Amino acid sequence: MAKITWAGQACFQISVSSGKENSANIVIDPFGDIGLKEPKFEADILLITHGHSDHNNIKAIKGNPFLIEGPGEYEVKGFFIQGINSFHDDANGKERGKNTIYTIEAEDIKFCHLGDLGQKQLTDDQLEKIGNVDILMIPVGGTYNIDSSGAQRIIGQIEPKIVIPMHYKIPGLKYDLDDVSKFLKAMGKNSIEPQDKLTIKASALPKERDMEIMVLKP
């Protein structure tokens, strides 16, 4: 069983459990002062995609998590995590620097969080490392990373089973980003009712040809 909760921007908590002996709270990209209420998540594992203040507020997270801040392969508490080098822009990092894509394998589900990806498309090497993805968390707000059309292109490359958009305009956010409706329109969806969280088992994942888009409430 996996439970995904979104705090806004690119910050998620993924809680995975198959009993007391094999459970963890994995938090990704906690933000600082960006106009939103700071995340109050507790973490066993904390992933940071890059060093910008709307993604690296480590002090906001409770607990004593195992911290991962870049590319590499990690096995923590029986869960396999891979950090993949990428860029925050489409100029090989010359404008905004590097970004780490993370894949997480837990409960027979493969998650992928793209961080502040700015590349117009993924390279063959990146795609090979990412592999087959069940649940993809992807930025769609533009300005600082890919926009709705870029997200559509990346989704076509990865072909996940579930897509969760992130890093878009929500009430209170200081940054001027596109609304999620622009992304949904690009994907041929008029509207999707936002959910408080996503709770799912591997056996309940949709078939690859039946990709679903899930919008979460912050």
CATH number at residue 169: 3.60.15.10
Asked whether the predicted pLDDT for residue 110 surpasses 70, the reply is: yes
Calculate ∠ Cα 173-179-185, nearest 5°: 165
Q: Residue 125, by phi and psi: left (phi above 0), alpha (psi -120 to 50) or beta?
A: alpha
> Which residues form the domain of 190?
2-213
pLDDT of residue 142: 82
C-alpha 164/C-alpha 216 separation (Å) is 7
pLDDT grade for 5, boundaries at 50, 70 and 90: very high
Task: Give domain status of residue 162, yes or no.
Answer: yes
Asked whether the predicted pLDDT for residue 90 surpasses 90, the reply is: no
Task: Give domain status of residue 218, yes or no.
Answer: no
pLDDT of residue 159: 95
pTM over 0.75: yes
Residue % of the chain over a pLDDT of 90: 66
Task: Give domain status of residue 115, yes or no.
Answer: yes
Task: Give domain status of residue 100, yes or no.
Answer: yes
Q: Are 29 and 49 in contact (CB under 8 A)?
A: yes
pLDDT of residue 74: 95
C-alpha 186/C-alpha 70 separation (Å) is 31
Asked whether the predicted pLDDT for residue 119 surpasses 70, the reply is: yes
Find the DSSP H helices in the chain: 124-130, 148-158, 180-186
Question: Which residue in this structure is represented by tokens 């869960």?
Answer: 79
C-alpha 120/C-alpha 106 separation (Å) is 29
Task: Give domain status of residue 148, yes or no.
Answer: yes
Tell me the mean pLDDT in the region 31-35: 85
Domain count, the chain: 1
